[in-house]
């Protein structure tokens, strides 16, 4: 009996003979988790009542038949007033038909004859323990199933149809959400809540799936009795006959996802709006970039003109310097004695001096103009550097926005592929 866990079993053993009770009690303690020993029928029945009222029932009761105060059959008769299912094994030293018949009527699980043969006892306890174990497992599964069904009934919209698609059962949630009464729903097909936006081939595909014995799952919208729309995530599966091939009926479990679907659709609208705005922004930035590039080209053209003027001014400046040097080399400033020896020496001197001053004035103006041109040139160079910096930043921003748009479009495409949404 290795596959059966009896460590949680509670056993009540009633025996009036001290030696037999002690010996068999030790044997039972090796097999079961809790063993309660009682010396007579009255004590045993009171112990049964105590555990029963505490909702801690015994899993097995083993009792001798022949005992003072209250024999085993009387104990069993009293137990059956409370519990008709707890298995009972009776121990007896003799076999009497009257006792046997009464024990059968009281649903005795088995007999153990004295003197006790422990091999026989082991076989008997193995069989009874298996029955107890599987019964406990069945009860546990039933409790879990009832819990699951209760949760589903509270949270889901449940319906059943026969093999032809006529509704045979709906829960309260289905009635509440659809707005129809049970009387209005049972006997009708599910198209009573079908939304007109759902194409016919959608339901043809669904019926093809479940008729082939497969589970169908999907999100779609229904139409309530008052005309409002609600979205459900449905799972529809066939229920088979015992042959596991013939479909008996279909069961559908639906969960409301109206808010979720509306949020998804709103999110999709926001995404498209953001995508449109981003495209507009990219177009605007592209135009701004083109304007900046044109401005840069114009400035570069003007600077090239400034460069030409600068080269001309620089050439004039060098020419004036050369003329001055020539005047100096030719000793334009003659001494008074040499000038006095020539005709109109004074007038010649004044003319030469006047020419000299005019030449110096031109040189000063040329140098001033060169400085202003150089200052303007530096300003334009700085302006171009600033514009080029802006163009680099703008180009990077446009690239980032394009990447963002590409990612958003990929994400949207992936969402549409992964999501089975009906056409509306």
User: Sheet of 60-64: strands edge to edge?
Assistant: 34-38, 10-14, 60-64, 88-92, 110-113
Beta carbons of 166 and 187 less than 8 angstroms apart: yes
Residue 305 and residue 350 share a domain:
yes
3-state helix, strand, coil in the chain (%, to 5): 60, 15, 25
Q: Which residue has the tokens 């599966």?
A: 237
Last residue of a domain, one of 104, 121, 152: 152
Residue 398 and residue 292 share a domain:
yes
Q: Can you read off the two tokens belonging to residue 101?
A: 């018949």
| Residues shown for the chain | 424
Residue 161 and residue 138 share a domain:
no
Long-range Cβ pairs for the range 243-247 (8 Å, 24+)? 245/213, 247/163, 247/211, 247/213
pLDDT of res. 144:
79
Q: Is 340 exposed, middle or buried (0-12, 13-18, 19+ CB in 10 A)?
A: exposed
pLDDT of res. 423:
47
Residue 324 domain boundaries: 262-418
Q: Can you read off the two tokens belonging to residue 99?
A: 């006792």
pLDDT of res. 91:
85
For residues 222 and 180, what is the distance between their CA atoms, to the nearest angstrom?
Answer: 13
Backbone angles phi, psi at 237, to 5 degrees: -140, 150
In DSSP terms, 220 is beta-bridged to 232
Task: Give the count of domains, the chain.
Answer: 3
pLDDT of res. 269:
55
pLDDT of res. 400:
74
Last residue of a domain, one of 232, 256, 280: 256
Q: Is position 2 within any domain? A: no
Which mean pLDDT values do the consecutive 10-residue runs of the chain (424 residues) have?
A: 77 92 92 93 93 91 88 88 89 64 65 82 88 86 74 80 92 90 92 89 90 90 90 90 88 79 53 64 77 76 74 78 70 53 57 71 78 76 76 76 73 62 46
Q: Is position 423 within any domain? A: no
Residue 285 and residue 369 share a domain:
yes
pLDDT of res. 424:
44
Q: Cβ of 219: how many Cβ atoms within 10 Å? A: 18
CATH of the domain at 37: 3.40.50.2300
Beta strands in 225-271 (DSSP E): 229-240, 247-256
User: How far lies 2's CA from each of 31, 109, 121, 129, 227, in Å?
Assistant: 11, 22, 16, 11, 62
Last residue of a domain, one of 152, 168, 202: 152
For residues 317 and 314, what is the distance between their CA atoms, to the nearest angstrom?
Answer: 5
DSSP summary character for residue 107: T
DSSP summary character for residue 106: T
């Amino acid at each position: 009996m290795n596959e059966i866990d009896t460590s949680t079993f509670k056993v009540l053993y009633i025996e009036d003979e001290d030696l037999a009770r002690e010996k068999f009690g030790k044997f039972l303690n090796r097999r079961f988790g809790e063993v309660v020993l009682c010396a007579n029928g009255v004590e045993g029945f009171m112990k049964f009542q105590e555990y029963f009222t505490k909702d801690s029932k015994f899993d097995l009761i083993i009792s001798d038949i022949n005992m003072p105060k209250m024999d085993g059959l009387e104990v069993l008769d009293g137990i059956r007033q409370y519990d008709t299912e707890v298995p009972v094994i009776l121990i007896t030293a003799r076999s009497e038909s009257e006792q046997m018949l009464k024990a059968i009527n009281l649903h005795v699980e088995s007999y153990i004859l004295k003197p006790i043969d422990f091999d026989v006892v082991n076989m008997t306890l193995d069989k009874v323990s298996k029955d107890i174990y599987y019964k406990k497992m069945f009860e546990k599964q039933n409790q879990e199933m009832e819990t699951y069904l209760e949760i589903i009934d509270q949270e889901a919209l449940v319906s059943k149809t026969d093999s032809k698609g006529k509704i045979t059962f709906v829960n309260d949630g289905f009635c509440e959400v659809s707005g129809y009464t049970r009387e209005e729903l049972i006997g009708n097909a599910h198209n009573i809540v079908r939304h007109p936006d759902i194409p016919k081939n959608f339901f043809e595909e669904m019926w093809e799936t479940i008729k082939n014995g497969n589970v169908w799952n999907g999100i779609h919208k229904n139409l309530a009795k008052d005309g409002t729309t609600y979205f459900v995530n449905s799972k529809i599966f066939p229920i088979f006959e015992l042959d596991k091939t013939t479909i008996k009926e279909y069961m559908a479990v639906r969960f409301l996802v109206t808010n979720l679907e509306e949020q998804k659709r709103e999110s999709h609208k926001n995404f498209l709006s953001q995508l449109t705005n981003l495209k507009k922004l990219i177009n605007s930035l592209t135009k701004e970039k083109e304007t900046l590039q044109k401005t840069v080209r114009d400035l570069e053209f003007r600077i090239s003109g400034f460069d030409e003027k600068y080269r001309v001014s620089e050439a004039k400046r060098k020419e004036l310097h050369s003329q001055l040097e020539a005047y100096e080399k030719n000793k334009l400033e003659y001494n008074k004695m040499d000038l006095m020896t020539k005709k109109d020496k004074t007038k010649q001197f004044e003319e030469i001096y006047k020419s000299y001053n005019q030449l110096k004035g031109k040189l000063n103006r040329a140098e001033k103009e060169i400085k202003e041109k150089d200052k303007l040139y530096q300003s334009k160079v700085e302006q171009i550097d600033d514009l080029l910096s802006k163009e680099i930043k703008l180009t990077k921003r446009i690239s980032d926005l394009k990447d963002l748009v590409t990612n958003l479009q990929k994400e949207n495409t992936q969402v549409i592929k992964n999501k089975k949404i009906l056409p509306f």
